[in-house]
Structure 1
Amino acid sequence: MEHRLPYSPSVRRRRLSAELRRLRESCGMTAAQAAGRAGWPQSKVTKIELGERKNVTVQDLAVLCEVYGVHDPKVREALEKLARDAKQRGWWSKYKDVFTDLLPDFETEARIIRTYECQVVPGLLQLPEYIEAVFRGGQVHEPDVIERAVAARLRRQEILNRFDPPELWAVLDEAALRRRIGGPEVMRKQLQHLIHMAARHNITIQVVPFGAGEHAALVGSFVILDFPAALDPSLAYAETYTASLMMETTAELTRYNAVFGHLQGSALSAAESVKLLETVMSQLE
């Protein structure tokens, strides 16, 4: 049986942009020079290379290939396929009222997902009852709004159950285990679910205990996404009340990777973390 993994249109758009930028730079051209030869405004070339132009047409690619001297039909065909893939819509487009960012899009093609959560269980590991309580957050919402939010997050979790799933490395602050989201019974089920998920070959769960004191991630939660293809650089993601930030510069990623490394050092081992989960669960009874 053939297993076809879903792909991320946003990842393909980034890859197309990076490849076109590489082709331009290999010719020793500036964006202004390339635009001049193509008969375009410079802003068009810049937007394509920044991934801000979602619809890069076959005609656009043909013009750029002529400008950059790309005559290999296989290279042109590969660029056209990236452009076609980048225009597709993923399942998450049906939940635009729930998702305010492209995290589910990028998660689809990530090879490794590293996440730190200081207040709640990571979204990829949440049970439906827990998700509902998180979205309510002490506020009153219409039932259909909550239902869509739960459905969207459960759909997002399917990447962990597919053929050849990504590796998930989750570091949680002990506060995320102690906070009784949804009440004792919901938390008991959620903690048992974490213990169950921690037994999977592709999932590692570590807990930073209160006893660790200060640590490198006191500022807040974040996610780091690593991709299998060399043309797809890693991303760091952080969420605020009003915006979601996607960071991809070398300096930003170096910082986030260092922080995650320090967190691993502050956290209990995977086996010790499961024991703490069991302890917290027993204290709920």
Structure 2
Amino acid sequence: MVNIRDLDPSASPLDYYGSELRRLREDAGLKQGELGVSVFCTASLIGQIETARKVPTRDFSERVDAALGTGGVFSRLVGLVLRSQLPSWFQPYAEMEAKAAYISTYQAQLVYGLLQTKDYARAVLATGLPGSLDELVAARMERHRILGREHPPMVWVVLDEAALYRPIGGPEVMRNQLAHLLSLREKRWVRIQVLPFAAGEHASLIGSFNTLRFDDDPDLVYTEDLISGHMTANPDTVKEAALRYAHVQAAALSVEDSAALITRVMEERYGHQPGPDGRAVA
């Protein structure tokens, strides 16, 4: 059992969150079980979070803020905690992504992380055989919050048609994922194009890449290899990426035709089909 008095609040966002939860709970004169009743969880979970052995969720943090009257302290802290669960090499990109005014990406294999459903993200992240899958999924979902801000970034995504056909997580997960992509048409700052197989060879056969643009800082280009990710503001690289992205966009279907293709794939490939017993199956 970890003794929370031995924890260093400055060691990590998770340690700081745990120490603050214990301090403010005790200031309120509540035992772990009493706070647990107020936030609909067990005393054990409160203890695990206070000793930095369990990562809190956003829902938990909001309920604790309400129960302790902390004015949103834990709702603000949980973003830092969840971001700290991302791979160390990815955290700098996530920080810059959250500050970007414009995000453009070409994705050769998968749906872009900001547009993934929870089940799709879980299936993707599980391929890395992580020891903390729940935490990684929660961290990825936390990234999505930038799309709901009062002033969200403009996000322009070009998906290779292959991403629509690769059955990540199975038919039901894919159907929900494609439906989610279609629902994003309601957000005027999100645009999705599909690069069809018919385009043949194109300007980014080498793979996926992202470009981040900022109001007051230089553009960044981000790529990944098998092990980690790489960001650069090198002007020549940024210029080359912009040229390649322009060619990829030009070769892709229009936003409207892309939505029609996504709809067709969703219905024909992942729609509910009658099974041998006549019942519908995914």
TM-score by length of 1: 0.65
Deviations 1:3-51 (A, max 9, x none): xxxxxxxxxxxxxxxxxxxxxxxxxxxxxxxxxxxxxxxxxxxxxxxxx
In structure 2, the partner of 1:131 is 121
Distance 1:98 1:141 in 2: 11
State whether residues 227 and 233 of structure 1, in contact with CA within 8 Å, keep that contact through their aligned partners in structure 2: yes
Note the C-alpha offset of 1:109.
Answer: 1.2
Equivalent of residue 98 in structure 1, options 68, 86, 99: 86
Deviations 1:91-111 (A, max 9, x none): 346543423221110011110
SS of the residue corresponding to residue 206 of structure 1 reads strand
State whether residues 167 and 202 of structure 1, in contact with CA within 8 Å, keep that contact through their aligned partners in structure 2: yes
- After superposition, the CA RMSD in angstroms is 1.6
Note the C-alpha offset of 1:146.
Answer: 1.1
Number of residue equivalences = 192
Deviations 1:196-229 (A, max 9, x none): 0133100010000011111000001110000012
Equivalent of residue 140 in structure 2, options 153, 168, 172: 153
Structure 1 runs of 4+ aligned residues shifted over 4 Å read 139-142
In structure 2, the partner of 1:176 is 163
Deviations 1:257-278 (A, max 9, x none): 0010000011000000000000
Calculate percent identity across the aligned residue pairs.
Answer: 40
**TM-aligned CA distance change 1:246 to 1:141, over 3 Å:** closer
**TM-aligned CA distance change 1:104 to 1:92, over 3 Å:** farther
State whether residues 92 and 105 of structure 1, in contact with CA within 8 Å, keep that contact through their aligned partners in structure 2: no
Superposition map of 1:73-222 within 5 A: 91-92=79-80, 94-99=82-87, 100-101=89-90, 102-137=92-127, 140-142=129-131, 145-222=132-209
Superposition map of 1:12-51 within 5 A: none
State whether residues 82 and 135 of structure 2, in contact with CA within 8 Å, keep that contact through their aligned partners in structure 1: no
What amino acid is the match of 1:96?
Answer: S
- Structure of greater relative contact order (alpha carbons < 8 Å, 6+ residues apart): 1
What amino acid is the match of 1:179?
Answer: R
What amino acid is the match of 1:104?
Answer: A
SS of the residue corresponding to residue 224 of structure 1 reads strand
Note the C-alpha offset of 1:90.
Answer: 9.5
What amino acid is the match of 2:94?
Answer: P
In structure 2, the partner of 1:241 is 226
Q: Does 1:267 align with 2:257?
A: no
Deviations 1:54-106 (A, max 9, x none): xxxxxxxxxxxxxxxxxxxxxxxxxxxxxxxxxxx993465434232211100
SS of the residue corresponding to residue 108 of structure 1 reads helix
State whether residues 92 and 104 of structure 1, in contact with CA within 8 Å, keep that contact through their aligned partners in structure 2: no
For structure 2, which runs of at least 5 residues remain unmatched after alignment? 1-76, 272-282
What amino acid is the match of 2:186?
Answer: A
In structure 2, the partner of 1:254 is 239
SS of the residue corresponding to residue 116 of structure 1 reads strand
State whether residues 82 and 142 of structure 2, in contact with CA within 8 Å, keep that contact through their aligned partners in structure 1: no
SS of the residue corresponding to residue 114 of structure 2 reads helix
In structure 1, the partner of 2:261 is 276
State whether residues 108 and 207 of structure 2, in contact with CA within 8 Å, keep that contact through their aligned partners in structure 1: yes
What amino acid is the match of 1:168?
Answer: V
What amino acid is the match of 1:257?
Answer: A
What amino acid is the match of 2:117?
Answer: L
In structure 1, the partner of 2:13 is none
Note the C-alpha offset of 1:179.
Answer: 0.3
For structure 1, which runs of at least 5 residues remain unmatched after alignment? 1-88
In structure 2, the partner of 1:85 is none
